[in-house]
Amino acid sequence: MSAEDRQSADTQEGNTSLTRRDVLKGFAVTTAAAVSAGMSAQALAADQASSATEVKNPYGGGPNTGITLPPYYRPTPSVANANTFFPGMEELGDDEMRISFIGSSPVPPTRAQAGTAIMVELGNGKRFFFDLGPGCFRNIVALQVPMQMVNDIFITHLHIDHYGELPYIYGFSAWAGRWKPLRVHGPSGRTPKDGIKAMIEGMKAMTHWHTDSFNLFPIGDGYEVEVNEFDYRDDNGICYDKDGVVIRHWRRIHGKDGASAYRLDWNGLSFVWTGDGRPDANTVKYAKGVDVFVTELQPDTMNVQTLKFGMPVEVLTPTVDVAHTVHYATGYMFKQVQPRLAMATHLAYDEELVPEMVAGVRTHWGGLFQFGAPDGVVVNVTKKAIWTRRAALPESTNFVRPSAKEAKELFDISLTKTTVDFPNPRHAVLTDIEDPATRALEIDAKKYYPPGVYRKPNPVFPKGFKIDIKKMVKDKIVQRIKSVFGADE
Ligand SMILES: [Zn+2]
Ligand SMILES: [Zn+2]
């Protein structure tokens, strides 16, 4: 079997309508059309050469400024390294917004792309998460954001690629010290069963074994969830209004009631994440003039995707046409919304399709455009400047401890209350949830510990445990003095 025959057979097995014969037929038609239009290769080249003079930078521009870049595309004052964002090494300006793409894939998650998730950080210290797609937690960890601080999660809709990481973060961050409820915001649906509240109840049921087992440790109210379920039909309604941050939502066309878009406004800066959906009038209306507009993009090249996935175009086309934005429409939406920065995410970042994606967007939009993909794209935004970089994400690291400011928020410590009082575990006795007969099978620790480091295993967390911060700080200062002046003095 020749390579060509094999490809033809593969195509037929994949049940697609695109056979080799069709391709050849199509090619013949295209060639015939070009010939009948009298367009020779030289004519095409001449046509393209003459059109080059017609392209203008919409912001004015000039030599060395490109044809799509505005003068405000430059680093903000807080940017320490113009090429790379090094996590944990840069303090956000007081008046600044930072948007990090911590997941960017619809399907499938890859090593370069987790499920869709966007983290927005503000100069007032607040942090928000828009969607929490599967696999995004490792990017949160790599960005050196403390696990305990993942909160205020806004879910656009309940497709798994937008919330698959939620049960994981819910299960572990309470153990790590988030003893306060998780705050999750999201839309209602056609029936109560379709809303975010019902999903959270389902998540609690699904994770019961995990949470019950972790109740051997201090958890406090960490397994409670404050669910803010808003009416998805309340277009442009406010679903968050606190500390000068206002978040609005509106419905999207995505094949089922409840899918929503979000717009965040703070300190004269704004951000929109549309979530998934068809190009729609609401988005044009409510996103108009936003600083950073992020929407989705599906290249309308289903014949190519068919060759990759083996799924017939008859499945791929309706998937896009019922629920998604084709790349031309992404550009069209940019033109209607007129943002300072237009961004596309929720796309498979197939390098070889990037030129086509850009070409599609450029059929309508001549302004500033960046991909929110693959993972690790970071955007700094002030009123005067916008700058995009990739983050240096370590291959392996660990979850970072909260800063002093974050610890204050987590543990309610202040000048007058300087102790962290650990909540008592719900299961103080191991035998509450484990059969003593199982534990009786445990091998004596003396058999595996070297004698010099032996300690008797203590599987029970003590009741009434406290950490005295004042004493901790004092000890640290004493230690520091000793290290400077020598231990003996
Ligand atoms: Zn999606
Ligand atoms: Zn979706």
pLDDT in tens, 409-422: 999 998 899 999 99
- Asked whether residue 332 falls in the same domain as residue 429, the answer is no
- Which runs of consecutive H residues, i.e. helices, occur in 159-248? 166-173, 196-206, 208-214
- Asked whether residue 235 falls in the same domain as residue 292, the answer is yes
**Amino acid 357: pLDDT:** 98
pLDDT tens-digit readout, 96-142: 999 999 999 999 999 999 999 999 999 999 999 999 999 999 999 99
CA 139 – ligand 2 centroid, Å: 21
Lowest mean pLDDT among 18-27, 286-295, 380-389: 18-27
The last residue of a domain, from among 330, 359, 391: 391
Helix (H) / strand (E) containing 386: strand 386-391
Considering its fold, how many domains does the chain have in total?
2
CA 280 – ligand 2 centroid, Å: 15
Strand-pair partners of 377: 390
Higher pLDDT, 151 or 480: 151
**Amino acid 53: pLDDT:** 65
CA 158 – ligand 2 centroid, Å: 7
- Asked whether residue 285 falls in the same domain as residue 418, the answer is no
Examine residue 108 and say whether the peptide bond preceding it is cis (omega within 30 degrees of 0). Answer: yes
CA 275 – ligand 2 centroid, Å: 7
- Asked whether residue 441 falls in the same domain as residue 336, the answer is no
Do the domain assignments include residue 193?
Answer: yes
CA 163 – ligand 1 centroid, Å: 10
Which segment, 36-45, 332-341, 476-485, is predicted with the most confidence on average? 332-341
- Asked whether residue 345 falls in the same domain as residue 461, the answer is no
CA 131 – ligand 1 centroid, Å: 10
**Amino acid 47: pLDDT:** 60
**Amino acid 383: pLDDT:** 98
Give residues with Cβ within 8 angstroms of 276, minimum separation 6. 106, 156, 157, 159, 162, 252, 254, 259, 296, 323, 324, 346
What six digits make up the tokens of 16?
């697609």
Q: What is the pTM of this model?
A: 0.88
**Amino acid 38: pLDDT:** 53
- Asked whether residue 364 falls in the same domain as residue 479, the answer is no
CA 106 – ligand 2 centroid, Å: 8
Do the domain assignments include residue 49?
Answer: no
> C-alpha angle with apex 385: 379 to 388, nearest 5 degrees?
25
Do the domain assignments include residue 41?
Answer: no
CA 156 – ligand 1 centroid, Å: 9
Helix (H) / strand (E) containing 378: strand 377-381
CA 425 – ligand 1 centroid, Å: 38
E-state strands within 218-285? 225-230, 237-242, 245-251, 260-266, 269-273
pLDDT tens-digit readout, 204-230: 999 999 999 999 999 999 999 999 999
The last residue of a domain, from among 362, 391, 420: 391
**Amino acid 20: pLDDT:** 45
CA 157 – ligand 2 centroid, Å: 7
Do the domain assignments include residue 55?
Answer: no
User: Residue 268 above 90 pLDDT?
Assistant: yes
Examine residue 423 and say whether the peptide bond preceding it is cis (omega within 30 degrees of 0). Answer: no
- Asked whether residue 420 falls in the same domain as residue 338, the answer is no
User: Residue 253 above 70 pLDDT?
Assistant: yes
| Residue that the structure tokens 């610890």 belong to | 407
Q: Which of 107, 108, 157, 97 is nearest to 132 (CA)?
A: 157
Helix (H) / strand (E) containing 295: strand 292-296
pLDDT tens-digit readout, 174-200: 999 999 999 999 999 999 999 999 999
- Asked whether residue 342 falls in the same domain as residue 423, the answer is no
At 1, the pLDDT band (50, 70, 90 cuts) reads: very low
CA–CA distances in Å: residue 123 to residues 75, 244, 250: 16, 11, 26
Containing structural domain, residue 427: 412-485
Please report which ligand is nearest the Cα atom of 323. Answer: 2
Do the domain assignments include residue 5?
Answer: no
Amino acid at residue number 168: Y
- Asked whether residue 303 falls in the same domain as residue 433, the answer is no
Across the chain, what does the average pLDDT equal? 91
At 55, the pLDDT band (50, 70, 90 cuts) reads: confident
The CATH number of the domain where 379 resides is what? 3.60.15.10
- Asked whether residue 333 falls in the same domain as residue 432, the answer is no
Share of the chain above pLDDT 70, in %: 89
- 298: how many CB neighbours lie within 10 A of its CB? 26
What six digits make up the tokens of 3?
């390579």
Please report which ligand is nearest the Cα atom of 161. Answer: 1
User: Residue 489 above 80 pLDDT?
Assistant: no
Q: How far is C-alpha 116 from the geometric centre of its chain's CA atoms?
A: 5
Please report which ligand is nearest the Cα atom of 278. Answer: 2
What DSSP string runs through 182-200? EEEEEE--SSGGGSHHHHH
Please report which ligand is nearest the Cα atom of 106. Answer: 1
- Average pLDDT score over residue span 419-444: 91
Do the domain assignments include residue 34?
Answer: no
**Amino acid 239: pLDDT:** 98
- Asked whether residue 211 falls in the same domain as residue 293, the answer is yes
- Asked whether residue 208 falls in the same domain as residue 255, the answer is yes
